[in-house]
A and B are shown apart, each in its own frame.
Chain A
Amino acid sequence: MARTNAYDPKDRAADDAELHRRLVYGDEAALSEAYDVYSGLVRGVAVRVTRSAGAADDVAQEVFAHLWARPYAFDARRGSLRTWLTMLAHRRAVDWVRSEARHRKAVTADDAALHAIPAPDPGPDERVVDRERSLLLHSALAQLPLPQRQVVHLAYFAGRTYRQAAAELGIPEGTAKTRLRTALHRLAETLADPAEPGYEAHERGA
């Protein structure tokens, strides 16, 4: 099967395995290599969810601190380091926005404050609603089953085609296609019926 470019997931997997090995054995230089390769992607994911460069920096730092302090949390049998890091960044970013929202509600019910923190450019109420809907979807995305989440992360955050994602994950191309479609349908259903996916529904309660 022809690939669309020279990207070879096998090389990356071997590099990741070696990088992970050195992280496990406490080689600090390995952490800085991982940072060089993946911090752009990790920050990009966090910026998308948080809309805040400062928050994205914090998330990136948390993600790499976690990689360093808990190197065994990454399991090469269950996916690439790239997807693992973006999934971790995504989850932390969603948590950041949630706790930010909780904090705002706790501090003041004032609408002005609601606009002030995450949105650099406070807009009309519609934008606040859009942001809430966006967060709702990201929360749902963070809860997709792992196989679907991995493909979505590669396609949406890492810019992979479904064929590249399939190669990177070692699954058939048809499976990658189907998983993307199924995952998006699930997210679409979340929007149609926000009560369904569970805990974030309470948070939106008001």
Chain B
Amino acid sequence: MATDARDHATVSELLGAWALQALPADEQRAVPAHLADCEECAAEAERLRATVRTLNGPNGNGANGDGSNGHGAADVPQDDAAGHPFRTGTGPLAAALAHRPPVPRAAPAAAPHAQPYAATVAALQALLAEADDAWSTEVVHGWTVRDTVAHLIAADEPLAVHLGLPAHEPPAHEPPADAPDDGGDWRTAWEARTRTVIAHERARDPHATVAVWRDRAAELLAAPAATDPELAAQAATLMGARLPVAEHFLVRAFETWIHSHDIGRALDRPVPPPPAGHLWRLVRLAVRILGQALGPKAPPVALTVTDASRTTEWVLGSEDEPVRAEIALDPVDFCLLIGGRTAPDTLPPGTGDPTAARTLLNRAAQLAWL
């Protein structure tokens, strides 16, 4: 047969898509003419089409079986033609929801300041449910997955104790990090507490460690300060920072996210950043902490944080001088910088006075206590 060789090459490549009716209309038209001419392609086409018919099964569904033009498979999702109404609503979802432990959460209307923490607890809880057999995978700072959870138990303790909850076993020798804050002492106490709790938890079943962390999180979220904005407005000095309790809840969210992010990387289960509304609360918290750390005399730098939906600018440092440099960052990068998970020299250097910009980025990186 005088089959055009170019035609043959083109059409034979299309036969899989043709058999599945996955060709756009213009290409679909090119196939039958060639099949009439080319025995080789006709045989292959029939073989592949027969395979699709078998896949369709005895009733054929009429979707792919008849070789007609068009795009039959698109009809499949509607094959409720059998008389089964499309189900929406909460019926099947209620059963699906029961497959994940309920998230300990503060009442939504009452406690926006505790919502980001509740959400990060949910994210870490779900991650740890997928971590079975990986408890000894190394995460960060020489900690395993289990150690990282133990660290969170220790790190949640200052706020818990401040809110009147008991400290975790084993008892701390000294009051944990809410001891008088002068300079770096809280860091020493806090690191010692982390070591103690990690050592204690290493002797236990990892599931028990997770249960202690989760129960503690639930207690924090059930505390009056998690639901009462007036209580949450009272300032407390915890881990070297004097902030309203509401902000301390955000610090818990921040740290829980950063450690979830670490565990997710170690387990090759990437943890996405918190939903935008929560993420921006963390950005504002981080800006406040960074502003405090820089103090009122630092050379002023304009920091712009931008994501797909919004842009916010802050001027950090002295209010009495003109802005010396501008830095523009994505909210996730900024948080990871503050959390000590992104090195300043991997970020865009900013514009203006390079020393002023560098000072801000380095100071941000040094804040990391996680």
Residues of A bordering B, CB below 8 Å: 4, 17-18, 20-22, 24-28, 31-32, 35-36, 39-41, 43-45, 47-48, 51, 53, 56-57, 60-61, 64-73, 75-77, 119, 123, 126-127, 130-131, 133-134, 137-138, 141, 152, 155-163, 165, 174, 176-185, 187-188, 191
Which residues on the A side are within 8 Å of B79 (C-beta)?
44, 47-48
Q: Separation in Å of the A70 CB from the closest CB of chain B?
A: 6
- In contact, A35 and B92 (Cβ under 8 angstroms): yes
- In contact, A159 and B123 (Cβ under 8 angstroms): no
With A31-B97, A48-B57, A131-B57 given, can you name 15 additional A-B contacts, CB distance below 8 Å? A4-B24, A25-B278, A26-B126, A61-B92, A61-B96, A69-B99, A69-B100, A72-B127, A119-B58, A131-B58, A137-B51, A141-B55, A163-B24, A178-B16, A188-B51
Pick 9 A–B contacts, CB within 8 A, sort by A. A21-B273, A24-B271, A48-B61, A70-B129, A72-B130, A123-B58, A131-B57, A134-B58, A184-B19
* Cα separation A17 to B276 with both chains bound (whole Å): 12
Given contacts A25-B122, A184-B52, contact A31 B96 (CB under 8 A): yes
Given contacts A21-B272, A32-B90, A134-B56, contact A184 B16 (CB under 8 A): yes
- Count how many chain B residues have C-beta atoms less than 8 Å from C-beta atoms of the other chain: 71
- In contact, A31 and B93 (Cβ under 8 angstroms): yes
Contact with A along B49-87 (1 / 0, CB 8 A): 011101111110100100000011111111110111011
B270 within 8 A of A: yes
B179 within 8 A of A: no
* Cα separation A171 to B54 with both chains bound (whole Å): 28
- In contact, A157 and B73 (Cβ under 8 angstroms): yes
Q: Separation in Å of the A83 CB from the closest CB of chain B?
A: 14
User: Could you count the A-B residue pairs with CB atoms below 8 Å apart for me: how many are there?
Assistant: 206
Q: Which residue of B lies closest to A70 (CB)?
A: B130
* Cα separation A40 to B359 with both chains bound (whole Å): 55
Contact of B54 among A69, A137, A159, A179 (CB under 8 A): A137
B120 within 8 A of A: yes
* Cα separation A171 to B256 with both chains bound (whole Å): 36
Within 8 A of A (CB), among B272-312: 272-275, 278
Q: Separation in Å of the A130 CB from the closest CB of chain B?
A: 4
Which residues on the B side are within 8 Å of A174 (C-beta)?
13
Q: Separation in Å of the A10 CB from the closest CB of chain B?
A: 12
- In contact, A155 and B22 (Cβ under 8 angstroms): yes
- In contact, A60 and B92 (Cβ under 8 angstroms): yes
Q: Separation in Å of the A60 CB from the closest CB of chain B?
A: 7
Q: Separation in Å of the A64 CB from the closest CB of chain B?
A: 4
Q: Separation in Å of the B253 CB from the closest CB of chain A?
A: 10
- In contact, B122 and A61 (Cβ under 8 angstroms): no
